[in-house]
Structure 1
Amino acid sequence: MRNEIYLKVIALLLLTISPLIAQENIQLSGNVSAPHLEGASIHIINSTQKTGTVNSVSGSYKILVRENDELLFSSVQYKNVNVIITSEIISKGVLNVVLEEDLNVLAEVNISNINLTGDIAKDIANMEVVDLPVNINFGDVKNITFEADINDPAEAPRNRAFESNTIMQPGVNIMGLPGAISDLLGIKKKTPVRVYKGPVRTSSEQLRQLFQEDFFVNTLELEKDYIEDFIFYAEDQGLSILLENSNKLVLIEFLMEKSKKYKMQLSQN
């Protein structure tokens, strides 16, 4: 009887502890392979936990994950790959990924409205030729009207629509008409009202609201005393523009790239 009670207690403890163990981060390692990978940076981003890393020169990587996390393998010259972390991947602790090149193929561009055959004699014969009078001078050529309405390449095209307009005569300042009409009707121009949008937050405040200190220390591998200095450095590299216009994944890639250059500068000083 006592042994049966012990077994029930142990089973209950296992059922309670197992979900907690499943929620703990484990270090997942693996290798990224792709054509022409030498020197290319592949960003491995945990989209669920908002953390990330990059591959080494050999293509290997390490990152903390939990079950059901989503990993994004991203690079400019390769197609993105998304992987959901399963219990099988967790048990193995290894995930190898193969990337495919992202080829940007341009559509066919027609740079001429003449179908050329390659035979110079035939191509010249198929071209439209305009016959001109034999006894002509420069003034005669200038006064000839072509389909493009441009007689002299050095002059601007003639505006035939304006020339045929009998209402608008030379000397009338049409740009001043709206202002004159407003003055006659007694309409006053509205003074633009400046709207107060609240205090402007610094880049440091915005970043610290988006990311906790662990992101700077563990993911970017920065010492706490250098976090603010790094933010000032990143601001000179265009951080403020990214904070306004980019999504969080683009911002993470930017911070990871700039942190590597920042640490390289620190090591040289």
Structure 2
Amino acid sequence: MASKVRIVSSIRARVIIVCILLLGCGLAFGQQKKTLIGKVVPDTSENSSVNVQNISARTGTITDSIGNFQILVRPNDTLVFSAVHLKRKTVIINDSIYYGTSYIVVPMEVFVNKLREVVVQPYNLSGKLTQDLNTLKLQKDVSAEALKLPNADVKIISQSENKLHDADHGKFFYYYIIGAAINVNKILNRLSGRTKMLKERVEIDKKYQQTQDIRTSIVDSLFLNELKIPHERISDFMYFCEVDKQFQKLVSEGNQLLLWEYLLARGELYRKNNGLE
């Protein structure tokens, strides 16, 4: 009788162990990971990378150039999608996503950073630069000239001017009490034509800088609306003016009215030559 009781107890123990193992396997199976494939669709033409983080499993990835991604997930995991130019988005891996599909599409909205209103009136500013400069109190000048530092008044020359100075500075001959010396460097640069070439380069740089000064002094809206020059053609139009001797003369004279009249006429000729009418 005792032997039968021991056998029954042993069978019950085995059944309990098997049930526990089966339950553990079921739980383990329920927690299996799977690869979720998806695509982020931002509400913008910009397709830069988006960070995809599984904050439950502490893993992550980054979308490719067109928004595709893949990441390991489990039921009830939380995915967070973020990018500088997009609003942060959270997706919960519920049963319909985990068991029902292996591919999801994640739409995201553009993030617009609104700046606070800027008030200029408390500082007695009108918003007009030319008017405010006359009334604005500046701090004490701490420039090199004001501090009277050595060589503060020396003009900073361009690279081309520096090369020309190295090639052609000084006299051809130097006479001393005990003899004389020849400036071989200057003579060779003159004979080889390097000095002439450098002088031409300096002039080209000066013309280019003058053209850039005129370019920056005119707002783009005047090029577009008055001169009718497309934005992508503005640099080419300025070069078209730069090579004209009349343009250089007007720039050197500093007559803004005559220069503007010239630009209007030159703009009409440029549009005609390039089929922009």
TM-score (norm 2): 0.36
Computing the radius of gyration from Cα coordinates, the structure with the larger value is: 2
Structure with the bigger percentage of helix: 2
TM-score (norm 1): 0.37
